[in-house]
Copies of this chain bind each other. A is one copy, B any other.
Amino acid sequence: MTKYYIEELSKYDGQEVEIKGWVYNKRSSGKIKFLLVRDGTGIVQCVIVKNLVPEDVFEKFDLLTQESSLIIRGKVRKEDRAPGGYEIDTTDIQIVHIAKDYPITPKEHGIEFLADIRHLWLRSTRQHAIMRVRHEIIRSIREFFDSRGFTLIDAPIFTPAACEGTSTLFETEYFDLGKAYLTQSGQLYGEAGAMAFGKIYVFGPTFRAEKSKTRRHLTEFWMVEPEVAWNDLNDNMELAEEFLEHIVASVLKNRDKELKILERDITLLQKVKKPLPRISYSEAVDILKKNGIDFQWGNDFGGTDETVISSQFDKPVIVHRYPAEVKAFYMKRDPENEKLALAMDILAPEGYGEIIGGSQREDDYDTLVQRIKEHNLPMEAFEWYLDLRRYGSVPHSGFGLGVERTVAWICGLEHVRETIPFPRMIYRLTP
């Protein structure tokens, strides 16, 4: 039996179809009634004319409430004024389940009220659009790497040692082996993968027990982390800009309707094409100073600093060669200036902050051992990682992109809580 979906109605112009869905809205104009039905793929207006349907079908209209489920039959008719281009001339209605007092009404609701009923909030047009953009972002991320011969390497979620202090780690008892910690990044495992497969990407959830209540922080978020053997910092920046261009182009192409629903100004997104502007950390500091910000060379950028820097550009900007002191132990130093790490971050425009962070990795065994000591990290936890420098070490680079921040930026959202189906924050663990 054919299954009909609203997004495919154009295939059935003039034909009888059966739509299974939920009441989105309804209105009445005497002898003509209009039922807006959603089925998860779209919304269609079903027209019910008194003299054209049996009496009982016409009367069912009055019973239907918002989010009641129903099966509706009728003929598809082209209607240029309709959002999807088609309407249905109803011939029959079968009520499946009447929803009583659906809590989300067309009036405004408070954000915590909506967050508490996230499982229902997802049915609204706006959340729907965001989730479909999210899906397209994730699809295009995988497509990018799959089509370039990268191998997917799922890094473990449970990690054995608290490599960089336990303060932002979630921990759990792990049988007789003591504590396990939830991963904050799959990068070190990704490096092992790159030595085995040349080009890899890690893609999974990561966790941060930060006590931050900002609009940019989730405790559980998805991250994709490519790692490429033989790539230097420059290759890394090139890969990242091609990657961002691909993601944004995919969303513009395949989710234009959703961006319209979100009232996203897409002119800025259309500019996301390589080459992206590249500035050094020192040049970024100059920008801050020119803008009257009292910033000390050597510090890390805060959220406001990032906004000021990125606002100088109309597309994402790559900032490279940060002071090594503010960056992680595994980053390679700039051979031309030992104080600098071969790091690069990409800041999204419009105040969305860092969406990509990456670097060339230290590939020399002795130097890496020294860095681990300098950072007071437990050497034994890194013995396996040091093996990658013991056995055929090569230059290599990679970066991480946070999915939720990318969704927020591309959709133009105020807060990351709307970027994931069921957000987890310091004060939210439900539904």
Contact = CB atoms under 8 A, between A and B. Distances in A.
Interface in A353-404: 363, 384-385, 387-388, 390-394
Contacts of A199: 40-41
Copy number in the complex reads 2
Interface in A66-91: 67-69
A79 B61 CA distance: 74
A417 interface: no
B151 A131 contact: yes
A120 B176 CA distance: 26
A249 interface: no
A192 interface: yes
A142 interface: yes
Nearest to A121: B196
Given A189-B422, A384-B119, A230 B152 contact: no
A59 interface: no
A353 to B, nearest CB: 22
B152 A135 contact: yes
A59 to B, nearest CB: 20
A120 B3 CA distance: 49
A421 interface: yes
A132 B152 CA distance: 8
A313 interface: no
A227 B180 CA distance: 32
Interface string A138-174: 1100100010010111111111100000000011111
A146 B139 contact: yes
Contacts of A301: none
Nearest to A150: B135
Contacts of A328: none
Contacts of A154: 205, 222, 420-421
Contacts of A211: 175
Contacts of A241: none
Interface stretch (A45-53, A93-101, A340-348): A93-101
Given A132-B151, A158-B429, 16 more contacts: A20-B394, A40-B196, A97-B363, A99-B391, A119-B192, A119-B385, A119-B388, A131-B151, A131-B153, A153-B421, A154-B205, A154-B420, A158-B220, A158-B424, A160-B429, A384-B431
15 contacts: A20-B229, A41-B198, A68-B392, A119-B384, A122-B192, A123-B196, A131-B197, A138-B152, A157-B205, A157-B220, A158-B424, A171-B173, A172-B172, A175-B209, A204-B205
